[in-house]
Amino acid sequence: MAEPSRTTLQNRFGRSGPRTGSDRKNSGFGRLLIVVYAVFSLSAGVRSLYQLATEFSVAPLAISLSTISAAIYVLATIALAKSGPGWHRVATVAVVVELVGVLGVGLLSVLEPQLFPKASVWSHFGAGYGYVPLVLPIVGLVWLWLTRPSRRSGRL
Amino acid sequence: MLWGYDGWFWASVVLGALSCVICLVQAARGRAPDDFSQGSVLVLEAFLLVYAVGSVFLPVLGPDPSGSLLEYWGYLLTALLIPAGTFVWSLVERSRWSTLILAAAGPVVAVMVYRMNFIYYYQ
């Protein structure tokens, strides 16, 4: 049998007692989804802040849209990580807005490329990020549907 | 190409690879985050803090930056969040999967330092 792990750091910095504030939405696969959303919040957020500071005048529309998309990723990350039916609704709204955004901006960037001299996160349906921005809201909505509060199977 | 990179980069490669191997081994053994895996990302965080101090003096003591210093600091501040974020995560989520997430910090930090080197010397 394996000897117990040394957990000095965990005992020093971790919270003791049972975990609270978790439901089906933010456990299991939901945790992975939260990590992916957090990565996107971080990268889209830093990138849009940088563009706002340095090259806003070059592509005001694209950079404004990038900033809005970063804010939506942050909101979705928080709402996915929180528990309760209220946060489930917030997460659903954020992910729907994200899906509409990536489809709308993607279409606009194909039809009117002159509006996007600098790429935004959602340009060309997120091609610059391996189309993850297009797939992510779809996966998110499926997950939110499977973990909807009205569905009473399993633990909640 | 890689020989044009500085000691900071190579230090991040060594520390990042060590941390990644430690965390992968612990995850393969089915361990929740412990002193080895959590400690290894704290070492990465400490390295990045020293690197941040070094970066303040780099334009004074070393060559002028060829790329954007603002972008450089954007990468550096983002990099500083990564080991800290995975550590906080590992305190809350106590499973082997959390140890696997800790394993991602090392390679990500090495790539970020690579990008910063590129921005500083070549961009």
Measured between beta carbons, the chain A residues lying within 8 angstroms of B87 are 13
Which of A9, A42, A47, A77 to probe by mutation at the B interface, max B CB count within 10 Å? A9
Interface pTM, i.e. ipTM: 0.78
Q: How far is A33 from chain B (nearest CA, A)?
A: 13
Q: Does the distance separating the beta carbons of B78 and A46 come in below 8 Å?
A: yes
User: How many CB pairs lie under 8 A apart between chains A and B?
Assistant: 51
Q: Hey, what are B49's tokens?
A: 């803090």
CB proximity under 8 Å: B 44-63 to A: none
Domain hosting A96: range is 29-147
One digit per residue, the tens of pLDDT, for chain A of length 156 reads 455 677 889 888 887 666 667 788 888 788 889 988 998 898 888 888 888 888 888 888 888 888 999 999 999 999 999 988 999 999 999 999 999 999 999 999 899 888 887 777 888 898 878 888 999 999 999 999 999 988 765 544
Q: Which of A2, A10, A31 sits opposite B38 (nearest CB)?
A: A10
Cα–Cα distance, B23 to A79 (Å, whole number): 29
Domain count, chain B: 1
How many residues would you count in chain A?
156
Residue A59 lies in a domain: yes
- pLDDT digits over B6-65, tens only? 899 999 999 999 999 999 999 999 999 999 999 999 999 999 999 999 999 988 888 889
Q: How far is A140 from chain B (nearest CA, A)?
A: 20
Q: Hey, what are B95's tokens?
A: 């499973």
pTM, rounded to two decimals:
0.73
What DSSP letter does each residue of A112-140 carry, written as one string? -GGG-SS--TTGGGGGGGTTHHHHHHHHH
Domain hosting B6: range is 2-122
